[in-house]
Chains A and B, each alone.
Chain A
Amino acid sequence: DAGVTQSPTHLIKTRGQHVTLRCSPISGHKSVSWYQQVLGQGPQFIFQYYEKEERGRGNFPDRFSARQFPNYSSELNVNALLLGDSALYLCASSPARYGEQYFGPGTRLTVT
């Protein structure tokens, strides 16, 4: 079975630009969560979506937004990029609202 997939793998953007990251959950999983992992740190929770509704939001500015589509895939959008947004962005899916989360390989975003 395919695991969580994310695209693109790597991305280089300039300060002030906008970026969209995509995630496809494991088949049958209805919950998608997004995490930001800065180099040398553990992942930080950004959002959880379950059944296409936002269920939780971490301590991130409004420049960060997300949505979940009817097929349960998800997009993370970041506006007005800052250098500090450079990180590995991880998507995780779970079959239900709670439970263990299965992570994708991540998207490495570099902001210059």
Chain B
Amino acid sequence: AQSVAQPEDQVNVAEGNPLTVKCTYSVSGNPYLFWYVQYPNRGLQFLLKYITGDNLVKGSYGFEAEFNKSQTSFHLKKPSALVSDSALYFCAVRDGSSGGYNKLIFGAGTRLAVHP
């Protein structure tokens, strides 16, 4: 069965330091991977996606993610964190053989707290 795991409920980082939010996945076919961010009382905002190609994917707001097939991971990274990056981050996967529909499977989310 397809699944996504975000092993950390919360990540704390100081402003200006690099940040990493971890994600591992399990799918039966080729993985289509996504990161979304959710601010309080808001919907999800798309950050980036991996479909195929380079393992390092660049997205919005200076975020990037590294796809690692052997470790089945898709960690979100940013070289220098901002206080405004504090939010809830979701990793999601769509199985390439999902049977004809665009179903995203989300992890439980990781709360990122960036301290001044």
User: Does A pair with B?
Assistant: yes
Residue in A closest to B100 when the chains form the complex, CB atoms: A55
Additional pairs, 5, CB under 8 Å, beyond known A31-B102, A100-B46, A104-B43: A97-B101, A100-B34, A102-B46, A103-B43, A103-B45
**CA–CA, A4 to B46, complex, Å?**
13
With A42-B107, A43-B90 in contact, do A48 and B101 touch (Cβ < 8 Å)?
Answer: yes
Residue A8 at the B interface, CB < 8 A? no
Residue in A closest to B98 when the chains form the complex, CB atoms: A56
Q: Which of the residues A31, A56, A101 comes within 8 Å of B46, measured between beta carbons?
A: A101
**Chain B residues engaging chain A, CB cutoff 8 angstroms:** 4, 34, 36, 41-46, 49, 90, 92, 94, 98-109
Q: Which of the residues B41, B45, B101, B105 comes within 8 Å of A56, measured between beta carbons?
A: B101
Q: Is the CB of A99 within 8 A of B42?
A: no
Q: Is the CB of B102 within 8 A of A55?
A: yes
